[in-house]
Chains A and B, each alone.
Chain A
Amino acid sequence: MGKIESNSRAILDLDRLVHEPARLAILTVLASAEEVAFLFLQRVTGLSKGNLSSHTQKLEAAGYLETVKVFQGRIPVTSFRITEDGRTALRLYHQQLRALLPKEGKS
C-alpha cells in the first residue's frame, strides 16, 4: 500500500463527528473546564443558539458530552460537561491529525 493511499485512509478514518469545526470548537472548550454554561459556550464559539443546540444534541447522542439542567430561582440554566468518551475522541482526533501533518523540516 502506498503512502498516499495510507494517508487517504487515515483522513477517511477521522472521527467526522469531531472533525466538523463547530463541534471541534465545542469539545475543545468543554475539555478546558469541568462544566461550561450554554451562554459562555455560545459566545466563545460564536454560534447561534439553534446551531449550538443542534451540535450539542449530536455530541450528546454520541455520548461525548452530557447536559446539566438546573434552576437558579425560576430561571432554567443549561450547562455542558465533556464525558470520558468525549475526551478520548478529542485526544484521538488530535493524534490522528498530528500524524497526518508533515513533520517540520520535511517537504
Chain B
Amino acid sequence: MWARVVEVMLGCWLAVSPFIFRHSAEDRALWVNDLLSATVVIVLALVSFWPPLRFAHIANLAVALWLIAFGFWASPYPTPPALQNNVVAGLLLLMFAIVPNEANRPPRPWRDFKHSNRIN
C-alpha cells in the first residue's frame, strides 16, 4: 500500500500549493482546482484500503490527467509556476496511481490460483 501513502502525501502537497505558490484571491480557478484535486486524491487513496473499493486508486489516474491538462491549457505559454506545479503533480500522480495496492505480492488472481491448486 506504499503507493497509496505517497498519493496521500501528493494530495497534501496539492492542498498547501495555493499558499506556497501564493495564488491571488481573484484566481478562484487555481484555488478550486488545487483544493478540490487534493481532496479527491486523498479520499480515493484512503478508500482503496477498504477491500470492496480497492481499485478506487485507479480513478486517481483521471485526476492526474486532469491536472496535467489543466496545467497545459489554463494559461498561455510561458506557464506560471502554479500551473507547472499542477503538471508535475499530475505526472507524479500518474506514476503512483498505477502501482497496485499490494504491489510486492503476486496479484490476487494468481494467489487464488495457487491456493486452489494446493487443495486439489
Same assembly? no
**Chain B interfacial positions (CB closer than 8 Å to A):** none
